Amino acid sequence: MIVITGGSGFIGSTLAESLAEHELIIIDTFFNLEQKKYLDNIFGARLVVLNECKSILDSFKNDISYFYHFGANSSTDQNILSETIELNISWSQYFWDFCSKNKIPFIYASSAATYGDGSNGFSDQMNVEELARIKSTSLYAWSKMHFDIFALKQEKIGNTPPIWHGLKFFNVFGLNEGHKKNQSSVVHPFVKELKLHGKISLFKSYNKKYLDGNQQRDFVSVNYCIKVIENLISKKFENGLYNVGTGKPKTFVTFAKDIMKAYGKKGDIEYIEMPESLRSHYQYFTKSENSKSSIIHSNISMFNFEDDLNSIVRNILNQLDE
């Protein structure tokens, strides 16, 4: 039996589909009706509302072979401290303690947002003191960093699950993002704008080091992320934090042109003003430092990024047509 929190979310539902042949417990808030369709290919899973999960988990504690904690409030503009602490920290600590007590392997979702503006680098080998020096640029990033440090400190005192990995996801894109609206990856609005208006709009740069459209991100497909997770488990890597990205950042201009190619339609690129609310925590550059997990990436070196993007873009277009 496998538990997936956030199993009706973006990465969680994609993982659940890849594990659909197993007996699954999917825990989520299930607030968004649009997420129902993500569960349509996951037949027979136990669907458990977050606030009712403790008794269910206790009932099946001896049957759970793996626990994936991908549930969180992932909005980068959240601003209610109590809600962020409850969903992103308190529940995470409860699941950590549950897996530690019952000796259940535990994988959880962290984020590259924990690296702040990137001035301290993007190494997943930083210790607690080095991580604590990074200035969080959003409440979401602060909450993810808080739990990363909690996990590392728990390891020092010997209170950990037998296997645990915190995954610092970079700029993930893919299907099952429709419920996220303006918090989705750029692929969805780019494809929609290209279809409707024949152009893709990119934010202007407010950093003198970067020309408009030359901001760089480590764009990584959710399907590649699932491959990384599978390899991380099968190769039995040591416990700790791991980056999940390609290690090869692209400019927004390049990525926009990749999307046009996958679509089979050329369009214009237009530069627009960035909303004031984003400017204080906007990341101009992200790059996954993958030396710690280089074997994982070499094992999936045959992954075809172009074919994967083509498939994602075609599926988004089909959804738009529907």
Domain with residue 111: its CATH number is 3.40.50.720
Domain with residue 253: its CATH number is 3.90.25.10
Tell me: do 235 and 160 sit in the same domain.
yes
Tell me: do 88 and 30 sit in the same domain.
yes
SS3 253: helix
Q: The tokens of 300 are what? A: 């999936």
What's residue 30's pLDDT?
Answer: 94
Q: Is residue 270 part of a domain?
A: yes
Residue 114 amino acid letter: T
Of 256 and 180, the structure prediction assigns the larger pLDDT to: 256
- Over residues 3-15, the pLDDT tens digits come to 999 999 999 999 9
Tell me: do 82 and 187 sit in the same domain.
no
Tell me: do 201 and 161 sit in the same domain.
no
Is the pLDDT reported for residue 271 higher than 90? yes
Is the pLDDT reported for residue 229 higher than 90? yes
Q: Is residue 295 part of a domain?
A: no
Residues 120/141, Cβ–Cβ less than 8 Å = no
Tell me: do 50 and 93 sit in the same domain.
yes
- Over residues 276-288, the pLDDT tens digits come to 888 877 899 999 9
Total structural domains within the chain: 2
Angle at 296 between CA 295 and CA 302, to 5 degrees: 100
Q: The tokens of 172 are what? A: 């993930």
Q: The tokens of 124 are what? A: 């997943």
Mean pLDDT of 265-271: 97
Q: Is residue 294 part of a domain?
A: no
Is the pLDDT reported for residue 135 higher than 90? yes
Tell me: do 10 and 32 sit in the same domain.
yes
Q: Is residue 238 part of a domain?
A: yes
d(CA 191, CA 259): 7
Tell me: do 160 and 79 sit in the same domain.
yes
Tell me: do 32 and 60 sit in the same domain.
yes
Question: Domain range spanning residue 46?
Answer: 2-171+219-244
Report which secondary-structure segment, H or E, holds 26: strand 24-28
Residue 57: is it exposed, middle or buried by C-beta count within 10 angstroms (0-12/13-18/19+)? Answer: buried
Q: Is residue 73 part of a domain?
A: yes
Q: Is residue 227 part of a domain?
A: yes
What's residue 234's pLDDT?
Answer: 84
DSSP per-residue codes, 134-199 = SPPSSHHHHHHHHHHHHHHHHHHTT---SSEEEEEE-EEE-SS-GGGGGGS-THHHHHHHHHHHSE
Q: Is residue 292 part of a domain?
A: no
Average pLDDT, the chain: 95
Tell me: do 238 and 227 sit in the same domain.
yes
Could you say which DSSP state residue 275 is in? P
Tell me: do 74 and 111 sit in the same domain.
yes
Q: Confidence band (pLDDT; 50, 70, 90) for 233?
A: confident
Q: Which residue has the tokens 């201009």?
A: 253
Q: Is residue 25 part of a domain?
A: yes
- Over residues 167-189, the pLDDT tens digits come to 999 999 999 998 888 889 999 99
- Reference 249, options 286, 295, 214, 197; nearest CA is 286
Tell me: do 142 and 226 sit in the same domain.
yes
Q: The tokens of 292 are what? A: 């710690």
Tell me: do 64 and 116 sit in the same domain.
yes
d(CA 108, CA 98): 13
What's residue 77's pLDDT?
Answer: 84
Mean pLDDT of 192-211: 96
SS3 99: helix
Mean pLDDT of 183-204: 96
